[in-house]
Structure 1
């Protein structure tokens, strides 16, 4: 494993891109530049702020997130927080549904099940009463 120089922006961009599972071609496409330009950028020790902002936006992180990126910190985060084999917690996963809506749905479903159960019990009682009156 190579250690990243604390100030080598290009290597930090490359590692974040790799952690995202993104190829240079995809980053180049999103930035509207060539793959060779991305390669050159990833070899650069520094980058102008406006370009860094663009790259950060495409990678889904902040400019400061790139500047402060540390491989050791990522491994510490993984070691301390990931208990399954899913790295989504690294990238601030946000569910696409509202948990409150799901809770209300579950409540409504339970209510319907309870009403059907009560109706089944009422039907059973009336059937048994019918049997008793026929005897």
Structure 2
């Protein structure tokens, strides 16, 4: 029995624009207003295989990225970053080289701050006496 592997078609430039726009939480209407076009025209742009370089530069500026970021956008890499950030926020930071858990610097800062507060409270109590 022959096993078929699912391979995803590469995203078109228009689809990459759409994904970046969505990741940034920007609506088509906003992009349209900044470009001076209608929302349906933005929708058509996001369906195109290629986008003219000047228009791509305008879109990139509005999205806060470079045209190269749009051209080289890779959804799989983005998902890896998102998963990594999810792990950080859930205190599951791993050192990818050794797969060992490492400390979370934010937790250490919070811990030091709490100790500082406790020390200040102690000082205040001593001064009150």
Q: Give TM-score, length-normalised by structure 2.
A: 0.61
Mapping of 1:1-135 within 5 angstroms? 3=8, 5-6=10-11, 8-83=12-87, 84=89, 120=128
Aligned-residue RMSD, C-alpha: 3.2
- Deviation of 1:3 after TM superposition, in Å, equals 3.9
SS at match of 1:16: helix
Gap regions ≥5 residues in structure 2? 1-6, 91-112
- Deviation of 1:80 after TM superposition, in Å, equals 2.1
- Deviation of 1:31 after TM superposition, in Å, equals 1.3
2: CA distance, partners of 1:76 / 1:52: 26
The alignment of Structure 1 onto Structure 2 pairs a total of residues equal to 101
2: CA distance, partners of 1:37 / 1:61: 21
Query: Displaced runs of 4+ in structure 1, greater than 6 A?
Result: 115-119
The answer to which structure has the higher helix fraction is 1
Q: Give TM-score, length-normalised by structure 1.
A: 0.58
| Structure whose CA Rg is larger | 1
